[in-house]
């Protein structure tokens, strides 16, 4: 069975984390997001995966190659320009000759793909769409269904007045290849705004697959952080297997040097080669990427740090995201929902928050920034 993963979006809402990294490759618990998706597909017996992409394709190809290290067969369908979700699938059409899965490249979920495919085979619609309940449907695609789970209406990013249900498109489809004839070649189009409404108009059956499995779209910094907190604290425990059974305690990679006076309260994931100096505090849910250095008396709480981050003496990082190679000066504070891109240098005695976003390579001199 084949799957197409849509990884061509620029990840604008996740900036500055996606200035140098595609959304599909941002680390989740120190593993590229796409690697989780491939493990998830493999778990359901889907090993033939086409990555539909346009933005920064080389980064993904260099890292994942033909997929053999992960036990899957990866191929790439690269668009010359972003073709939209529909155009991206159309671009892979020649490789698709039986019902196939399509996954948005930013959904973290345990939706049962095997059961979804059984249902699809039994009911025989042209498309199946997985649904999940959410609090705010307006930022997703809302899907109205009838009593037998057939889709009646699909409205992408509806206004509040158009919201009739909290069940939304979970970004996972099974598509019959014959449907691809409805997608125009060579021009950008979206399955959500064009293909699905068109199929409904033509009376082509679309089946929904409602699920109450854990589900989140990691496409904004708030959701990215929440996904970490959920995985670490056990809210999404069904997904722990994809991270080698992370167990909500303190998990540490090799070659770490942790001073015995440091205080570590799980759930905390510490990447390989990290150092944590005396009197430092790590308070879960938190993640240190590989080779992070936490200096004397510094505190990291509820935060996600990518690789090679240096945290100065008595600095405080709380509920924030700090990308690769950043340096946080002595006594500085980076607080709630603050996001630092790669290579940001924060001098001593700064206070950053809430929700401040700092673009890669910026230098903030000592004591200049506060709120
Ligand atoms: N190859 C390719 N080319 N991929 C694309 C393109 C493109 O031009 N545009 C977007 N994608 C990929 C993105 O990388 C992402 O993985 C996926 O398509 C969905 O795009 P988003 O930009 O993340 O859409 P969204 O989150 O606003 O809405 C979508 O997902 C929701 C669930 O998270 C829609 O499918 C909604 O209906 C859905 O509810
Ligand atoms: Mg999304």
Q: What is the mean pLDDT of residues 48-59?
A: 86
Side-chain half-sphere of 360: how many Cα atoms within 13 Å?
A: 12
| Upper half-sphere CA count for residue 105 (Cβ side, 13 Å) | 28
Chain-centroid distance of CA 370 in Å reads 30
Q: How far is the CA of 74 from the centre of ligand 1 (A)?
A: 20
Q: How confident is the model at residue 294 (pLDDT cuts 50, 70, 90)?
A: very high
Model pLDDT, residue 117? 98
Q: Between residues 45 and 244, which one has the greater pLDDT? A: 45
Q: pLDDT by residue (tens digit) across 195-208?
A: 999 999 999 999 99
The tens digit of pLDDT for each residue in 172-184 reads: 999 999 999 999 9
Sign, Cα dihedral of 28, 33, 39, 43: positive
Radius of gyration, CA atoms only, the chain: 22
Q: Is 337 exposed, middle or buried (0-12, 13-18, 19+ CB in 10 A)?
A: middle
Q: Which of 334, 370, 360, 330 has its CA nearest to residue 348? A: 330
Report the 10 Å Cβ neighbour count for 114. Answer: 12
Enter the tokens of residue 347.
Answer: 């001098």
- Domain range list for the chain: 2-217, 238-369
List, in order, residues 6 or more apart from 161 with CB less than 8 Å away: none
- Give backbone dihedrals phi and psi of 335, rounded to 5 degrees, phi first: -115, -160
**Ligand 1 proximity of 18 Cβ (cutoff 6 Å):** no
Q: Which atom of ligand 1 is nearest to the CA of 91?
A: 1
Q: Does the beta carbon of 82 sit less than 6 angstroms from any atom of ligand 1?
A: yes
Q: 38-58: b or e for each residue (b if 16 or more CB lie within 10 Å)?
A: bbbbbebebbebbbbbbbbbe
Here the tokens at position 81 are 């320009």
Q: How far is ligand 1, taken at its centre, from the CA of residue 56, in Å? A: 16
Q: Which two tokens stand for residue 268?
A: 């905390």
- Angle at the Cα of 71 from the Cα atoms of 273 and 60, rounded to 5 degrees: 65
Q: Which residue did the predictor score with more confidence, 294 or 354?
A: 294
C-alpha span between 126 and 205 (Å, rounded): 6
pLDDT at 56 over 80: no
pTM for the model: 0.96
Domain 2-217 has CATH 3.90.550.10: yes
Averaged pLDDT score across all residues of the chain? 95
Residue 55 confidence (pLDDT) above 70: no
Which of these is catalytic: 23, 157, 313, 362? 157
Question: Which atom, in ligand 1's list, is nearest to the CA of 140?
Answer: 39
CA distance 364 to 358: 9
Span from the CA of 216 to the centroid of ligand 1 (angstroms): 13
**122 tagged catalytic:** no
Q: Given this model, what pLDDT does residue 13 score?
A: 96
φ, ψ for residue 48, nearest 5 deg: -105, 105
Instruction: Give 123-143 pLDDT, tens digit per residue.
Output: 999 999 999 999 999 999 999
* Fold classification of 238-369 (topology level): UDP N-Acetylglucosamine Acyltransferase; domain 1 (2.160.10)
Are the beta carbons of 146 and 210 closer than 8 angstroms?
A: no
**Residue 369 pLDDT level (bands cut at 50, 70, 90):** confident
């Amino acid at each position: 069975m084949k799957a197409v993963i849509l990884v061509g979006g620029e990840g604008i809402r996740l900036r500055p984390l996606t200035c140098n990294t595609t959304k599909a490759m941002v680390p989740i618990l120190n593993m590229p997001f796409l690697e989780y998706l491939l493990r998830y597909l493999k778990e359901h017996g889907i090993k033939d995966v086409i990555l539909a992409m346009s933005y920064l394709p080389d980064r993904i190809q260099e890292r994942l190659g033909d997929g053999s290290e992960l036990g899957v067969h990866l191929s790439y369908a690269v668009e010359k320009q972003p073709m939209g979700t529909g155009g991206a699938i159309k671009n892979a059409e020649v490789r698709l000759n039986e019902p196939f899965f399509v996954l948005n490249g930013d959904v973290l979920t345990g939706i049962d793909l095997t059961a979804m495919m059984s249902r699809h085979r039994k009911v025989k619609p042209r498309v199946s769409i997985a649904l999940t309940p959410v609090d705010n449907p307006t930022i997703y695609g809302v899907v109205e269904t009838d009593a037998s789970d057939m889709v009646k209406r699909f409205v992408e990013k509806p206004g509040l007045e158009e919201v009739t249900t909290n069940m939304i498109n979970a970004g996972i489809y099974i598509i019959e290849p014959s449907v691809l004839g409805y997608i125009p070649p060579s021009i950008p189009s979206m399955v959500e705004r064009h293909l699905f409404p068109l199929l409904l108009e033509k009376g082509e059956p679309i089946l929904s697959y409602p699920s109450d499995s854990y589900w989140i779209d990691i496409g904004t910094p708030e959701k990215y952080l929440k996904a970490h907190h959920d995985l670490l604290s056990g809210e999404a425990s069904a997904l722990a297997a994809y991270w080698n059974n992370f167990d909500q305690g303190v998990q540490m990679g090799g070659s770490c040097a942790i001073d015995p006076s440091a205080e570590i309260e799980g759930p905390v994931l510490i990447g390989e080669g990290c150092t944590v100096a005396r009197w430092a505090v790590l308070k879960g849910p938190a993640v240190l990427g590989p080779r992070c250095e936490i200096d004397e008396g510094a505190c990291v709480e509820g935060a996600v740090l990518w690789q090679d981050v240096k945290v100065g003496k008595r600095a405080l990082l709380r509920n924030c995201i700090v990308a690769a190679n950043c340096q946080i000066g002595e006594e500085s504070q980076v607080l709630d929902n603050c996001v630092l891109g790669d290579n940001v240098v924060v001098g001593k005695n700064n206070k950053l928050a809430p929700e401040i976003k700092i673009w890669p390579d910026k230098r903030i001199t000592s004591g200049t920034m506060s709120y």
